[in-house]
Chain A
Amino acid sequence: MEAASGLAETAAPERPAPRADVWGQLAPLLLVFAAAALVPFVGNDYWVLIATRAAIYWLLVAALNLMVGFAGQLAIGYVALLALGAYTTSILAAGNVLPPVPALVALIAAGVVGAAFGVVVGLPALRLRTFYFAISTLGFATIVTQIALAWQSVTGGGIGLPGPELPAPFDTAAGFFWFCLGASALCTWMTFNLAHSRFGRALIAIRDADVAAEATGISKPRLLVTVFLFCGAAAAIAGGLFATLQTYITPDAFSFDLSVLFFIAILIGGRGSILGPMLGTIILTLLPEFAAPLAAWSTFLYAGLLLAIVLGMPGGIAAALDFKNRRPLESNRAIVPRPALLAGILPEASAPRPIRAEGVVLAFGGVRALDGVTLEVRPGQVHGLIGPNGSGKTTLLNVVSGYYRPQEGRVRLGDGELEPGDPRTRASRGIARTFQMPRIVGEASVIENVMIGGTVQGRASFPEAMLSLPRQRREEQDFRTAASRALQAVGLEALANVRADRLQHSELRFIEIARALMLRPAFLLLDEPAAGLSTEEIKRLSELIRQVSRRGAGVLLVEHHADLIFDVCDHVTVLNLGRVLAEGTPAEIRVHKEVVSAYLGG
């Protein structure tokens, strides 16, 4: 104990922030592309054709991967956008409706149309739950082919129409292949950049910890719509190239089997990976070619693979290739926070504005969970909130952080009112929180989880992130530095690159605190941070909380551990049955008659 606290006192020399291992992750992708570029030299025309098809599919899948693999939106009918792009390009190039335009122009126009329809297809995802959204994309896929069949004057109906021909030098088999390969490489690079930006991390947060994502200020609708634009454009351009490859398109070419291929390639590859889905796409494209008799059974094979992956290896190929996370972790590890490092994280003096909840009433059905509660959290103070189970502590915290909209009363920050019922607005006002059950992205590394906390501070836009422009790169490095500082402050820097789901429960609690610190919060709301911690860990936690408040931040602490509350709080409010039973300094509360009989016992 002595040694540990001694260690905590010394301000450990700050380590340089670890750089992201970008090249290590990019190398396998480059290798695949380099090998693919050689296909025309070593294979015959047939192999070039297959490789072209794989490149076109990957162009679509690479983008769709952001939506399905990263954001976890189960868009299973994406062949609709491939068809849309194929028809748009072919119609514009053939001049069925407007005067004919050059094929490359038609391709770009298809990208624009695809982006618009990408939003239309995706829009239901903003309101509907998974299965509903899956079905709605399925419905969309059926409808696009039916319209293509019915709208004979434009699409040629069942007879179809010729695909566009690209100009020289892309009009030979090899030239066209390299063009497609280049397009898919570009798309891969963009998705790679996005995946390693705050946008990619926010997508994963939406998938695995959507409640926490809201608390960090991530706006799901805005982010998803941007991604839908990107996916739609990429898919439609892939469609245009697909039409060129086919030379002639009919509605039959866009069977549901293709949708299944796209979708399953991502899941076989593994969610949140780029290399995995890429290998998945290549395998699924080649599989029927290697075993010609199996061609009729290809969908059955895909589906069987999907089932096997879901049941046996939910992480997919990516998890199988993730050797780094197989190494056993040190089993006997202690969390040793270094509160002294908080100086580098929290701003010296925050604006002296308190959070005030005034007369908050919230009833669930007939139960008045909060019955006119008033409470003030001042900057620089630790405010304890205690009370029996069901007394409304967490409910009040949820009202303050915007998850519940109170039926009466309001929450103020200084003179302004905090938007009721909108948790996404809290982060930009410097209000951070943790959760009773830690809400962590298990499949992301610890440091990525912490970096999610800084999302609202990002200034680089989506296009900047996509193209990895200087401001984005600078910002990314800043995020990493800040996250690594926060991890050092809570004592988890040794685990920075470990997958978060391999950690112990108590460590997850400290990750949540580190994530909250990324906001440089003026207020920190902690929901039972000590639950499940050992006595030793609670002591260190209490020191950390005290130091956070000494740096000028206001802390609202919901807790059951009376020791922690009386040790660290400047002010305590006791709730009972949704009302304030007592408030005052810890010393006053400890001897308060009603509190002792209702809660503390003794």
Chain B
Amino acid sequence: MLASIIAAGLAVGAVYALIGVTYNVMFATSRVMSFTAGQLGMLGGVFGSLFALRLGVPLLPAFVLSLAACAIVGIVTEFVAVRPVLKSLEQHLYVLSTLALALMIQQVTAIEWSTEPQPFPRVFGIGSGVFDEKFWLPVAACAAAIVALELLYRRTLVGRAFLAIAEDNFAARALGLPERNLRVASYALAGAIGGLAGFAGGELLLAFVANGALLNFYGFVPVALGGLGNNRGAVVGGFALGLFQQAANFLVGGIFSSVAVFVLFIVVLLAAPQGLFGAPATRRV
């Protein structure tokens, strides 16, 4: 039993962590928390199932197509819901614009795809029991994504440019960095990461439209706990959340486990509004 709690906990934790990273990657270049992050995770599963099962595309191209489709959704987010409201960041209009876009994505999926969970294909067909691929695949995807992101940020010029913009937008623009293009690129990247989360977690969460709202919340919890923009915090928070949730699931039952997660979220945030690893608030006056 313990083994299955850990396996399932790490698996969903990895998905939550990846959605948390999706939030962070979008936030880094735009200072915007987007409600589309969870929807991207949902879309990763739906596109995977759509390409591989409904359209019969072989798995590898289906995977690439899913990620590309999610990246496009990410770019659309930037153009439709982020760019127009960036000027009035202070008024928090982005909360409304990204919420509106997320609802539209969700409604289109519900009508054009299905409101019921749809099957997701076996990817490799390796492993069984607690070592089934549906448990280790998300963890592997999460690890791969984190390593790739670190390499991108530390080793490549584009990655450093991302960091520069995240650190100080004005200074980066003064240095002549193409801030807009980099922002679009980061939204595409975030889209792909969200899609990866959904695809890798597809066998576990299925291609289900309700995952969007669910991942919006559960993906945000690690970000809130780990501190905005802190990817390591998000990964640690994601796994911790996954394990906590699965343990609560086993101990007190499915529905009250979400109550437990919610209570934990609120209590931790009220105690440490900046998250456990976050930076203190900036000056107001």
Contacts and interface: CB of A to CB of B under 8 A. Distances in A.
A117 B99 CA distance: 25
B284 A150 contact: no
A500 to B, nearest CB: 15
A131 B216 CA distance: 12
B262 A307 contact: no
B170 interface: no
B113 to A, nearest CB: 13
A306 interface: yes
B143 interface: no
B159 interface: no
A146 B108 contact: no
B117 to A, nearest CB: 17
Contacts of A310: 85, 93, 96-97, 100
Contacts of B285: 211, 394, 398, 403-404, 435
B217 A138 contact: yes
B269 A297 contact: no
Interface string A372-416: 000000000000000000000010001000011000000000000
Contacts of A221: none
Given A303-B103, A306-B100, A311 B85 contact: yes
B92 A131 contact: yes
Contacts of A404: 285
B108 A300 contact: yes
Interface stretch (A32-40, A103-111, A122-130): A122-130
Interface residues of B, number: 39
A142 interface: yes
A441 B74 CA distance: 34
B252 to A, nearest CB: 11
A143 B216 contact: no
A143 B217 contact: no
B157 interface: no
A74 interface: yes
Contacts of A299: 103, 106-107
A131 B273 CA distance: 12
Contacts of A134: 95, 99
B86 to A, nearest CB: 12
Given A127-B270, A132-B224, A307-B80, A142 B258 contact: yes
Contacts, number: 109
B85 A135 contact: no
A260 B85 CA distance: 20
B255 A260 contact: no
B259 interface: yes
A532 interface: no
Contacts of A307: 80-81, 97, 100-101, 104
A258 to B, nearest CB: 13
A256 B214 CA distance: 12
Interface string A132-146: 101110111011001
Interface in B86-128: 88, 91-93, 95-97, 99-101, 103-104, 106-108, 111
Contacts of B255: 146-147, 149-150
Nearest to B32: A131
Nearest to A364: B283
A306 B107 CA distance: 14
Interface string A337-358: 0000000000000000000000
B81 A147 contact: no
Interface string B236-279: 00000000000000000101101100100110011001000000
A314 interface: yes
Looking at A123, A132, A267, which has the most chain B CB atoms within 10 Å of its CB? A132
Contacts of A510: none
A67 B220 CA distance: 24
A302 interface: yes
B61 interface: no
B104 A303 contact: yes
Nearest to A305: B100
A300 B104 contact: yes
Contacts of A256: 213
12 contacts: A135-B217, A138-B216, A149-B255, A211-B284, A299-B103, A303-B103, A303-B107, A306-B97, A306-B103, A310-B97, A394-B285, A398-B285
Interface of A: 72, 74, 76, 123-124, 127-132, 134-136, 138-140, 142-143, 146-147, 149-150, 211, 256, 260, 267, 296-297, 299-300, 302-304, 306-307, 310-311, 314, 394, 398, 403-404, 435
The 3 closest A-B pairs by CB, nearest first: A303-B103, A307-B100, A300-B107
